[in-house]
């Protein structure tokens, strides 16, 4: 599975955010830079990537809650060893001085200057696949596997897709 995280902010040097595979391999396409990966040392599947606002670094999140910082991305903490549900996504705060982790059960964890605005535990269909911040960082959306989108903070309701037939499953989401 390949997932994407938050793309670099407007004006960043990168036209595309790097991609990460579950084994921790990072792939840089277009103008995206390669700063390192967990490919040789994954202790748990890598579940997300978020680019720093200037495109000069990124964070990788593992399903066990570990966070790894590369390039100019700073480490602000992690859930390693304390995750009650698999971490399914990571999103950077607008200034890159923090990030949010989302877990499959809808829990949200804020680090650095990222602010906690609420959680989808008990209210959001599971599993949650991604967290997408608002442009100003004053809120975020949780995106579930069935396409349901729940907003927190100033993340207004944007709607959700009609129920899909068959086995359509959302694997990830990004701001845009």
Per the prediction, the chain carries an average pLDDT of: 81
Model confidence band, residue 140 (pLDDT cutoffs 50, 70, 90): very high
Check residue 15 and give its pLDDT: 47
Check residue 25 and give its pLDDT: 78
74-131 pLDDT per residue, tens: 999 999 878 788 999 999 999 999 999 999 999 999 999 999 999 999 876 778 989 9
Check residue 9 and give its pLDDT: 37
Instruction: Identify the CATH class of 2-153.
Output: mainly beta
Chain mean position to CA 20: 11
Residue 57: strand pairing partners: 71
Model confidence band, residue 4 (pLDDT cutoffs 50, 70, 90): very low
Query: Any idea where the domains of the chain sit in the sequence?
Result: 2-153
Which of 39-43, 80-84, 113-117, 145-149 has the highest mean predicted lDDT (pLDDT)?
A: 113-117
* Lowest mean pLDDT, pick from 7-11, 13-17, 40-44, 108-112: 7-11
Q: Which residues contact 114 (CB under 8 A, 6 or more apart)?
A: 76, 93, 98, 99, 100, 137
17-29 pLDDT per residue, tens: 677 778 777 878 7
| Complete DSSP assignment for 11-34 | T-S-SS--EEETTS-EE--TTPPP
User: Residue by residue, what is the 3-state secondary structure of 63-132?
Assistant: CCCCEEEEECCCCCCCCCCCCCCCEEEEEECCCCCEEEEEECCCCEEEEECCCCCCCCCCCCCCCEEEEE
């Amino acid at each position: 599975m390949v997932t994407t995280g938050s793309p670099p902010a407007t004006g960043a040097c990168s036209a595309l955010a790097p991609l990460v595979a579950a084994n921790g391999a990072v792939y840089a396409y277009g103008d995206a830079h390669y700063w390192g990966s967990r490919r040789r040392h994954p202790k748990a599947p890598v579940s997300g990537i978020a680019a720093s606002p200037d495109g000069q670094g990124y964070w990788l999140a593992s399903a066990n809650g570990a966070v790894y910082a590369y390039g100019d991305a700073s480490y602000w903490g992690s859930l390693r060893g304390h995750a009650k549900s698999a971490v399914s996504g990571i999103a950077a705060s607008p200034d890159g001085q923090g990030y949010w982790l989302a877990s499959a059960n809808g829990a949200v964890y804020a680090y650095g200057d990222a602010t906690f605005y609420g959680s989808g535990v008990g209210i959001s269909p599971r599993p949650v696949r991604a967290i997408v911040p608002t442009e100003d960082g004053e809120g975020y959306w949780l995106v579930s596997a069935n396409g349901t989108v729940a907003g927190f903070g100033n993340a207004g309701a944007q709607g959700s897709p009609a129920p899909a037939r068959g086995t359509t499953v959302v694997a990830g989401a990004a701001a845009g």
